[in-house]
Every structure is written in C-alpha cells, then in structure tokens.
C-alpha cells in the first residue's frame, strides 16, 4: 500500500468516525467537551498554517447549534470539525516532505 493511499485511508476513517451516531442524546457537557477538543485541533492546524476554511465554518455551526440547545447537532458538528482539523494536520505533515518528490532536478 502506497504512502498516499495510507494517508487517504486515514483521512477517510477520521471523517467516517466523526459521523458515527451516539448511543444516547448529547447534553451540554458532551457538547462543551467535543467543542473544546475540536477547537484545540483547529488551533493546532492553524499553528501549522494549514487550517481549512471548512473547519472554521463547521466549528461555527457547532457553536450555533450548542447555543440554540441542539446538543446532538452541536456534538456532531464539533466532531466533524475535529476530524477536519486533524485531517488538515495530517495533510500539513505529509506535504512538508512530499514537495521534495515533485521538485524539478
């Protein structure tokens, strides 16, 4: 399995896990924990200068849902934002070295 395929598989698994349904209804504590985790991952991606705009908008959607009391929707959006942020970190790390293979010699 090539390195690119492994990265793609990892990204796909992260995104799929973010959409996994929970067994019970989420509450405010679940939302706050999921949002904090997503926000930390987003800050990590931002620190690497590779924050995706979809992560920012998904985090905003999570906050809006949480503020509106839709904790199930807020947790789902926060988990999606976390997966997007983690995927952008993986992309930044892989591209940090991958560009060398494309360099014209």
Q: What's the confidence (pLDDT) of residue 24?
A: 75
Range of the domain at 93: 3-102
Q: Residue 74 in contact with residue 35, Cβ under 8 Å?
A: yes
24 by Cβ neighbours in 10 Å (0-12 / 13-18 / 19+) ranks as exposed
pTM exceeds 0.85:
no
Q: What's the confidence (pLDDT) of residue 23?
A: 61
Q: What's the confidence (pLDDT) of residue 54?
A: 94
Q: How many domains does the chain have?
A: 1
Q: Residue 45 in contact with residue 55, Cβ under 8 Å?
A: yes
Per-residue pLDDT of the chain (105 residues; tens, 9 = 90+): 566 656 666 766 666 665 555 567 888 999 999 999 999 999 999 999 989 999 999 999 999 999 999 999 999 999 999 999 999 999 998 888 777 777 666
Tell me the three state secondary structure of residue 48: coil
Rounded distance between C-alpha atoms, residue 17 and residue 73, angstroms: 15
Rounded distance between C-alpha atoms, residue 92 and residue 23, angstroms: 33
């Amino acid at each position: 399995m090539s390195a690119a395929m492994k990265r793609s598989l990892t990204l796909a698994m992260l995104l799929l896990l973010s959409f996994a349904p929970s067994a019970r209804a989420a509450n405010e504590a679940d939302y706050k924990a999921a949002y904090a985790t997503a926000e930390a991952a987003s800050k990590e991606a931002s620190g690497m200068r590779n924050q995706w705009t979809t992560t920012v908008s998904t985090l905003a959607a999570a906050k809006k849902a949480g503020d509106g009391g839709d904790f199930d929707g807020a947790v789902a959006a926060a988990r999606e934002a976390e997966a997007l942020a983690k995927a952008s970190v993986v992309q930044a790390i892989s591209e940090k070295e991958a560009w060398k293979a494309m360099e014209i010699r």
